[in-house]
Amino acid sequence: MPTSAPVRGFFTYPWDLTDAPVEATLTTMRDSYACNAVALAGSYHSATLLTPRGLRSYVVERPDAAAMFHPDLAAYPPEGPWPVVDTATADADILRRAADACARLGMQFNVWLVVLHSSALGRAHPDLTCHNIMEDAYSFSLCPSQARVRAYAVGLVRDVCHQVQPHTVLLESATFMPALHGGHHDISLLAMNPVLQWLLTLCFCPACVARAEAAGVDVVGAADDTRAMLRGLMNDGTAGVAGVGAEVLGSTLVERPRLAAYSQVRIATVMSLLAEMRVAAAEGGARLEVIPNTGVRPIARSWALGVHLADLRAVADGAMVLGYYAEPREVITELNQYQLLAGDLPFSLALNVGHALSPTRAGLVARAVVGTQAGARGVFYYNWGLLSEERLSWVRAANEAVVAASQP
């Protein structure tokens, strides 16, 4: 039985705090929906969003990945990349106003950063993006092997900590990104199985190649293996694309040792970057929490993006487990996998309250309780501005159940 209730809050976009006084909205979260925390986006990727409670519009287009504050450029590489700024929220100083309001209301203030997933910066700096084996550039994905990208990522954490002093910095996409991730009109007539996705995700940019060569990896052999497997997987008639599952992805690391070695360098690259970002957060007085598997499921496949769960405790203060499943038993399985691999590293649980993953109120309540019973330090709901009034009431029910489940 948990000894205290986890903190409870909404993932929130700063632009959803502009139609009413910031403190009034946070007070509503606290008093009407039993929340005592918020995870406010400090940087976010491009998106088109349906906002059912919108006062000014129902469909919001965010065409560029952007930071929600005015950056101190001294924190970033002199030659860039520098954050693109969402001037409306930055000029309104939403992050600072939210931090001050949380302090007055007794709420935990957390900043949620989307780090390397930035089409705006990728288009401006194509040489800093991930490149697959065919040298196709992924404009949506800055490469964590690149020195300037690493300096940008560390600077982003340092900058936001200096400006608004969050309790916790939550990192999303501080890793390699999946090749096809549901971006703008992604089109594929092939079944995107786990092996095909991973092979297309492998970055062979000059920085990744140099890191692998320095580690003694047979990069030419790894590249040959990647090309050969992709040729097979692209041909339905010989490989049976739709039938290739996660078990083949795991066996690839045994059957193709050169790819396994290349993967280990990717892991070392990401883990060392997370370590640098944790130092920056700690210098700013903040915890660092990591979403280890943005875009892939289950959490046991975090390694495919460069995260080694067993070593995460050395580079982070906690993890955010994405409980983006409809059934409580699926969330239990995800948490069991996390705790098996990451041990007792503290974790928070994210729950999607949208129609597809929360078909019933009782199911959302059950999933929140499951996380509480497993020892979550926080339960966060996606997303304040995207939910209907009815769904918001479900969050209150879930939070009341979380508190009740925490009683001795």
Looking at residue 183, its pLDDT comes to: 61
Arithmetic mean of pLDDT over the chain: 94
Per-residue burial over 55-87, b if 16 or more Cβ lie within 10 Å, else e, is: eeeeebeeeebbbbbebeeebbbeeebbbbbbe
Q: What token pair was written down for 150?
A: 């690493």
298 inside domain = yes
Nearest to 81 by CA among 169, 136, 15, 143: 143
**Host domain of residue 155:** 7-187+265-405
- Averaged pLDDT for residues 218-231: 96
Share of the chain above pLDDT 70, in %: 96
247 inside domain = no
Contact 34, 399 (CB under 8 A): yes
- Taking only the tens place, the pLDDT of each residue in 268-321 is 999 999 999 999 999 999 999 999 999 999 999 999 999 999 999 999 999 999
- Taking only the tens place, the pLDDT of each residue in 354-366 is 999 999 999 999 9
Could you tell me the pLDDT band of residue 212, with boundaries at 50, 70 and 90?
very high
Report the CATH number at residue 141.
Answer: 3.20.20.80
Per DSSP, helices labelled H in 177-244 are 194-201, 206-214, 219-233, 236-239
- Taking only the tens place, the pLDDT of each residue in 67-80 is 999 999 999 999 99
Number of domains making up the chain: 1
- Taking only the tens place, the pLDDT of each residue in 32-56 is 999 999 999 999 998 888 899 987 8
250 inside domain = no
393 inside domain = yes
pTM (2 decimals)? Answer: 0.95
245 inside domain = no
- CA atoms within a 13 Å half-sphere pointing along the CA-CB vector of 366: 15
pLDDT at 238 over 50: no
Nearest to 139 by CA among 129, 150, 127: 129
- Taking only the tens place, the pLDDT of each residue in 93-118 is 999 999 999 999 999 999 999 999 99
pLDDT at 182 over 70: no
260 inside domain = no
> 299 vs 77, 185, 262, 327, CA distance in Å?
32, 26, 21, 16
Could you tell me the pLDDT band of residue 188, with boundaries at 50, 70 and 90?
confident
Least confident range from 11-20, 54-63, 344-353, 376-385: namely 54-63
Q: What token pair was written down for 358?
A: 């929360």
